[in-house]
Amino acid sequence: MKSYNSFQVAQNQIRKASSILNLNQATVDLLSWPQREFAFTLPVKMDDGSSQVFQAYRIQYNTARGPAKGGIRFHQDETVDIIRALACWMALKTAVVDLPLGGGKGGVVCDPRRFSERELERISRAYIRASAPYLGIDKDIPAPDVYTNPQIMAWMMDEYETIIQRHHPGVLTDKPMQIGGTEGRRDATARGGVITVREACKTLKLDPTGTFAIQGFGNAGQRAALLHQEMLGGGKLVGVCDSKGGLYNPRGIDVKELVTYKLKTGSVLNFPGAKAVHRDSILELEVDVLYPAALENAISHLNAKDIKAKIVCELANGPTTPEADILLNEKGIHVIPDILASAGGVTVSYFEMVQDGTLDFWEEHVVHARMDKKLTKAYQTVQEAIREKKVHPRLAATIVGVARIAEACELRGWV
């Protein structure tokens, strides 16, 4: 498998979009690099009394449209280039959905599975002590990401409020409901993806109740399976996989039973309602909709020729390589790129910020309706760019995002 530097991929996407938009060189240079980068060394006491030192980062990619927004990851393989790329894509994502936010990302280089709950709390609080001067509802608003969760956000918010000595709940999003979280956040990423699939089915005049497959059956994959059937009036899940294996049943797999089984056993392996298959084969099933919801670079030049889905809805970050984008487009496969397909999460995070600021909390149906309106409009805007610029969907979405960020930079007099 060819090795990809995620940040170089993101920079190339920015430059291609900038070229089509005829942006001046100063603007291209500005958008090709983060505005601010912070690196921290976090000394943390372990339960046995020893100290361990962790490397950590926070990157604010662009704040022309508003304060930075993006998750914090706890992962042993974190690198500054991965965080740069993710921060860049967050800036594009908030612009594509037309939120008044920029893009950011952060991370701690650690394997959180090795630590106790108390040790995780100390790591979380140490991160905020290091980064607090650069955070705030008018500066940078983190959220959970890989191996972080609402409980970690609660610890981080508490540490931040302890430092500034006042309530400031909007500084972190995807918190528990009891301390300023919002209705509709748990399934927001998957729900946003299904909304874009619904719109794609309208565009392609495709029956939304056809077949679908899901690569990756974690939180987003499970919720996408349930919501696909609930929101689109049906649909037959014929293939699914997680990190341990895959399942296939052309007659359909009972989604609710599979989710229950996965939550109970930790894997889809040996589920009695389907035949075991190699996990990679799920990507190549002949289905109406494929949801890549696991690893980056899952669809590459090696397997793109074997993809048979009519619609590919990217719930994962970067599941398709640049070469595969071209191949899928040549095959007439309709890709809904990640910066659009997975934008439901940041959209509802923005709603959480609004509610925290006004102390007026919305009912779940209001959150769903407002997100639907945002994602539907964003999908239509990207479709217009595809038709106008005659480019593949990811480049079209990047063009929309880059154009909006560049306009804000120009209006501010930065370029």
Q: What is the pLDDT of residues 234-243, one digit of tens each?
A: 999 999 999 8
Contacts of residue 54, defined as CB under 8 A and 6 or more positions apart, other chains included, come to: 41, 42, 44, 108, 109, 110, 123, 126
Query: Using CA atoms in the order 279, 284, 288, 290, what is the torsion angle rounded to 10 degrees?
Result: 50
Q: Are residues 169 and 189 in the same domain?
A: no
Residue 47's pLDDT band (cuts 50, 70, 90): very high
Residue 350 in tokens: 């923005």
Question: Do the Cβ atoms of 237 and 262 come closer than 8 Å?
Answer: no
**Number of domains the chain is built from:** 2
Per mean pLDDT, which range of 55-59, 127-131, 315-319 is the poorest? Answer: 315-319
Give residue 318's pLDDT: 87
Q: Are residues 169 and 187 in the same domain?
A: no
Does residue 12 belong to any structural domain of this protein?
A: no
Q: Is residue 113 over pLDDT 70?
A: yes
Which CATH number belongs to the domain containing residue 120 in this structure? 3.40.50.10860
Q: Are residues 230 and 357 in the same domain?
A: yes
Q: Are residues 123 and 149 in the same domain?
A: yes
Summarize pLDDT for 166-192 with one digit per residue, the tens.
Answer: 999 999 999 999 999 999 999 999 999
Q: Are residues 211 and 296 in the same domain?
A: yes
Q: CA-to-CA distance for 51 and 69, rounded, in angstroms?
A: 31
Q: CA-to-CA distance for 61 and 258, rounded, in angstroms?
A: 39
Dihedral sign computed on CA atoms, order 405, 407, 411, 415: positive
By CB atoms closer than 10 A (0-12, 13-18, 19+), residue 15 is middle
Domain-terminating residue out of 119, 145, 178:
178
Give residue 1's pLDDT: 52
Q: Are residues 89 and 218 in the same domain?
A: no
Q: CA-to-CA distance for 185 and 174, rounded, in angstroms?
A: 7
Contacts by 160-165, CB closer than 8 A, 24 or more apart:
160/128, 160/132, 160/135, 163/128, 163/129, 163/132, 164/132
Give yes or no: 105 in active site: yes
Residue 296's pLDDT band (cuts 50, 70, 90): confident
Does residue 267 belong to any structural domain of this protein?
A: yes
Does residue 1 belong to any structural domain of this protein?
A: no
Q: Are residues 235 and 315 in the same domain?
A: yes
Query: Mean pLDDT over residues 227-233, rounded?
Result: 96
Q: CA-to-CA distance for 215 and 286, rounded, in angstroms?
A: 14
Task: Give the count of beta carbons closer than 10 Å to the beta carbon of residue 218.
Answer: 15
Residue 6 in tokens: 């995620």
Domain-terminating residue out of 146, 178, 210:
178
Q: What are φ and ψ of residue 94, in 5° steps?
A: -65, -30
- Percent helix, strand and coil across the chain, each to the nearest 5: 50, 20, 35
Q: Are residues 125 and 208 in the same domain?
A: no
Q: CA-to-CA distance for 312 and 307, rounded, in angstroms?
A: 9
Q: Are residues 193 and 102 in the same domain?
A: no
Does residue 201 belong to any structural domain of this protein?
A: yes
Give residue 2's pLDDT: 63
Parallel, antiparallel, or unpaired for β 275-277 and 140-144?
A: unpaired
Q: Is residue 202 over pLDDT 60?
A: yes
Q: Are residues 128 and 221 in the same domain?
A: no
Q: Are residues 303 and 384 in the same domain?
A: yes
Residue 119 in tokens: 């040790």
Q: Is residue 293 over pLDDT 90?
A: yes
Which CATH number belongs to the domain containing residue 408 in this structure? 3.40.50.720
Question: Do the Cβ atoms of 323 and 304 come closer than 8 Å?
Answer: yes
pTM: 0.95
Q: CA-to-CA distance for 274 and 224, rounded, in angstroms?
A: 19
Place of tokens 């309602």: 273
Cβ-count burial 112-129 (b if 16+ within 10 Å, e if not): beebeeebbbbbbbbbbe
Q: CA-to-CA distance for 31 and 100, rounded, in angstroms?
A: 17
Domain enclosing residue 110, as ranges: 33-178
Task: Give the count of beta carbons closer than 10 Å to the beta carbon of residue 385.
Answer: 22
Does residue 18 belong to any structural domain of this protein?
A: no
Domain-terminating residue out of 135, 161, 178:
178
Question: Do the Cβ atoms of 152 and 73 come closer than 8 Å?
Answer: no
Query: Mean pLDDT over residues 112-137, rounded?
Result: 97
Give the Å distances, CA to CA, from 218 to 21, 172, 193, 298, 384: 38, 23, 15, 16, 33
Give residue 273's pLDDT: 84
Q: How many residues does the chain have?
A: 415
Q: Are residues 239 and 358 in the same domain?
A: yes
DSSP structural state of residue 124:
H
- Catalytic residue (choose from 2, 45, 93, 105): 105
